[in-house]
Chains A and B, each alone.
Chain A
Amino acid sequence: MLRDITLGQYYPGESLIHKLDPRIKILATFIFIIELFLITEFIQYLWILLFLGMVIIISGVPLKFMLKGLQPLMIIIILTFGINIFMTKGEVLWTLGPLNITREGLHQALFMGSRLILLIIGSSVLTLTTKPIKLTDGIEKLLNPFKKIGLPAHELAMMMTIALRFIPTLLEETDKIMKAQMARGADFESGNLLKRAKSLIPLLVPLFISAFRRADELAMAMEARCYRGGENRTRMHELEFHYKDIIAFLVVLCLLGIIVWQRLR
């Protein structure tokens, strides 16, 4: 059912990783991604695996949940793998009809595939161990310095909060409208692309109308609850750095150091 897709896919827990400051986790995830792109040799993935393995074990989130994040992106992974394995020129190992699999291609495919998989798992750690509200708070705080150049940090974070709140509601509604239209003989599944796109109109029109009505009512309700933007607003859970955050950040920087050093050598 559609309502099972709770966004943010947060896995509740009390681990050290869960308790780290969201700002540290967001920055660490960025650095982790940079590290992945700096790697040039297979053997270096060992460092990443060691680090990621450690983080996953500490977080207490079952590996099953980590791997779940791969499912929706499977097509991209397979595509990356396929393109690399067949398109790279070099020493031919096997021939499949018009396609050649080369030693270099195999190496490249495994290399890129691993990078992508590690990237997805690495970023799932962030969303699995961070409450949505903490995530948006963290983003707001990190973007705060850019307010000076006109970036609406608070508004962006508020938009994300509301999106996280309403996506399940709107999915549920889509489901309901779809069933209602199907009961009246609407067909969303057959026909060519154009016909299918056309059949979405009776779904999208009521959905948009309802979304605008919701937005209107929500704005009214927020105003009634004294919302007036980010000025003078406090938070129930103020973010603050602790020693563990600094240590965690140092670990990530160390890893970056090792990889950069190996690359420069």
Chain B
Amino acid sequence: MNNMIEIKDLTFEYNREEDGKNIPALSGVDLNIEKGSFTAVIGHNGSGKSTLAKNMNALLLPSGGKVYVNGYDTADESKLWHIRQAAGMVFQNPDNQLVSAIVEDDIAFGPENLGIEPGEIKKRVKESLQAVGMYDYRKKAPHLLSGGQKQRIAIAGVIAMRPECIIFDEPTAMLDPYGRKEVMDTIRKLNKEEGITIILITHFMDEAALADRIVVIDEGKIALDGTPKSVFVQVEKLRKIGLEVPIVTEIAFRLRNKGIHVPEDIISLEEMVNYLCQ
């Protein structure tokens, strides 16, 4: 079994009380996430990204279709805690996911919920804080930390549960550029060094470009799916969906339109510099 997450023909509808109409937030989504991979999910506001993420660890259950995490059906209630332990989640607002007034106690929260014995919890707290480079802050109060630091604490709190996969729902949206870099470096390190499967929902195209694969969601459906290069070359289609492309791709696109021959698959600054200076 090489898939961390398998989604088959997933439909999801929120119950809307005000008008009684249920408009599907997701419809007919098929998606497999390979173990150890790094996938970015992009799409404009309200396209269904968060709904998709919450379906991946049984915070929401499908209205139609199936979601399997590590082979377990998310609708199977007896496997609920396995599923949430295997697929951790980091949310957008760093303030609203920390539970305890002291950093190390917060990291312990997940393992404590899993009923792990105290000695092992202490070991995991230490290792998790070291993995995100926040061990020196273990005695601090979260409200005194920067946004990027708080988000790294939230990440440590998830890795203390030893997940195989972490779903990030716009983890950098509320951070300054420095905080964004801190968090992105941490995410990449977890993927490369710890082999944790990463699903990164983001609206920053330069962040999505770092993934192995990009999935574009539009109106609750998958609109594009492929490597960053193969997705970003479709500048016009992305625009129609209401998405930007990375600035370098944008420049390459405009240069091409002006008749200057620039290869289509340039998506990083480095590649652009190399090409233009050869």
Interface residues of A (CB under 8 A from B): 3, 6-8, 12, 131-133, 161-162, 164-165, 168-169, 172, 213-214, 217-218, 220-228, 232-238
Contact = CB atoms under 8 A, between A and B. Distances in A.
Contact of A221 (B97, B125, B142, B143): B97
B10 interface: no
A83 to B, nearest CB: 38
B114 A161 contact: no
A11 B50 CA distance: 41
Given A217-B96, A225-B161, A235-B118, 4 more contacts: A133-B102, A221-B89, A225-B113, A234-B117
A172 B109 CA distance: 24
A222 B104 CA distance: 16
Q: Give the dominant DSSP class at A's interface.
A: helix
Contacts of B110: 225-226
Contacts, number: 103
A161 B101 contact: yes
Nearest to B98: A165
Give the size range of B's interface with the partner. 35 or more
Nearest to A8: B101
A161 B161 contact: no
B14 to A, nearest CB: 14
B146 interface: no
Contact of B101 (A132, A217, A221): A132
A165 B101 contact: yes
A226 B84 contact: yes
B122 interface: yes
A223 B59 contact: yes
Interface in B82-120: 84-85, 88-89, 91, 93, 95-102, 104-105, 108-118
Given A220-B59, A226-B114, A236 B121 contact: yes
A8 to B, nearest CB: 7
A233 B102 contact: no
19 contacts: A3-B143, A131-B102, A132-B102, A133-B105, A165-B142, A213-B96, A218-B96, A218-B99, A225-B88, A225-B110, A225-B157, A232-B115, A233-B112, A234-B118, A234-B121, A235-B108, A235-B112, A235-B118, A236-B111
B141 interface: yes
A132 B273 CA distance: 54
Contacts of A225: 84, 88, 109-110, 113, 157-158, 161
